[in-house]
């Protein structure tokens, strides 16, 4: 199984027969190596309804008849656009043909701003535990530090975790380094940094603050094999 990072919070998981894409913010993302017209995801998992995570989900899902997984309100919104969406809620898990998905809590906001300057609420933000091929991947989504990350790590043997370090909107490097301790993941990749001026970070500082050698910094297109 190949797991790759593609800038901001985009993660791609390629199993033997499925391509699973997290938070496909491609258009307008200067840090990604992906092109919308080239991507053919079977499954799209969206952590929350902000534009830099929902991204190109609708276009990709319509073009590829992808299954989209997200919180219940976000799934309903996507359903209004003709998308095949599966809604879930925090703490709930579901066994799909490609693996098991469980939503965890994440402390953040959510919603889209319309052309009429109105905000469409799109449900609670989430982290995601994906278990497939005997491995568990944790995508924390956008979140601040919370003590129940230890509970997540205690309850699930995490092989690979994607953790935001950008600060301002999410955890910064200091809190993210502490989150690594709580989660106890075998490997950790920093995400959600350097995309915008507000989240510019030196990933080396994060690496230095983490005890152990389980952090792997990936450039866009970088791959980890599980």
Calculate the CA 20 to chain-centre distance.
Answer: 11
Per the model's pLDDT, the better-predicted residue between 62 and 213 turns out to be 62
Q: Using one digit for the tens of pLDDT, what is the confidence trace for 88-123? A: 999 999 999 999 999 999 999 999 998 899 999 999
Task: Output the pLDDT for position 14.
Answer: 98
User: What are the sequence ranges of the domains in the chain?
Assistant: 2-225
Distances (CA, A) of 211 to 129, 172, 178, 179: 23, 16, 9, 11
pLDDT of amino acid 58: 98
What's the average model confidence in pLDDT over 11-36?
A: 97
The third-level CATH classification (topology) of the domain covering 2-225 is: Metallo-beta-lactamase; Chain A (3.60.15)
Instruction: Give the tokens for residue 148.
Output: 């129940």
> Does the predicted TM-score (pTM) go above 0.85?
yes
pLDDT tens-place string over residues 122-162: 999 999 999 999 999 999 999 999 999 999 999 999 999 99
Q: What's the mean per-residue pLDDT of the chain?
A: 97
Q: Each residue of 161-219: pLDDT tens digit?
A: 999 999 999 999 999 999 999 999 999 999 999 999 999 999 999 999 998 889 999 99
Q: Distance between CA atoms of 146 and 163, rounded to whole angstroms?
A: 13
Question: Of all residues in the chain, what percent carry a pLDDT higher than 70?
Answer: 100
For the beta carbon of residue 154, count every other beta carbon within 10 angstroms. 12
Structure confidence at residue 38 as a pLDDT band (50, 70, 90): very high
């Amino acid at each position: 199984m190949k797991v790759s990072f593609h800038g901001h919070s985009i993660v791609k998981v390629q199993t033997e027969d499925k391509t699973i894409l997290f938070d496909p913010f491609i258009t307008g993302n200067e840090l990604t190596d992906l092109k919308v017209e080239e991507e053919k995801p079977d499954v799209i998992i969206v952590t929350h309804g902000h534009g830099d995570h929902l991204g190109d989900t609708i276009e990709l899902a319509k073009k590829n008849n992808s299954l989209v997984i997200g919180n219940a309100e976000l799934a309903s919104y996507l359903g209004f656009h003709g998308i095949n969406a599966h809604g879930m809620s925090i703490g709930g898990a579901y066994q799909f043909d490609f693996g098991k998905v469980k939503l965890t809590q994440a402390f953040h906001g959510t919603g889209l701003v319309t052309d009429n300057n109105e905000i469409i609420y799109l449900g609670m933000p989430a982290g995601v535990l994906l278990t497939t091929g005997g491995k568990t991947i944790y995508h924390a989504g956008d979140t601040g530090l919370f003590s129940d990350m230890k509970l997540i790590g205690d309850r699930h043997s995490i092989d690979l975790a994607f953790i935001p370090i950008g600060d301002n909107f999410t955890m910064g490097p200091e809190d993210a380094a502490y989150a690594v301790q709580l989660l106890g993941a075998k490997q950790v990749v920093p995400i959600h940094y350097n995309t915008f001026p507000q989240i510019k970070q030196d990933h080396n500082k994060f690496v230095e603050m983490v005890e152990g050698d389980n952090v792997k910094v990936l450039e866009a297109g970088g791959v980890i094999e599980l």
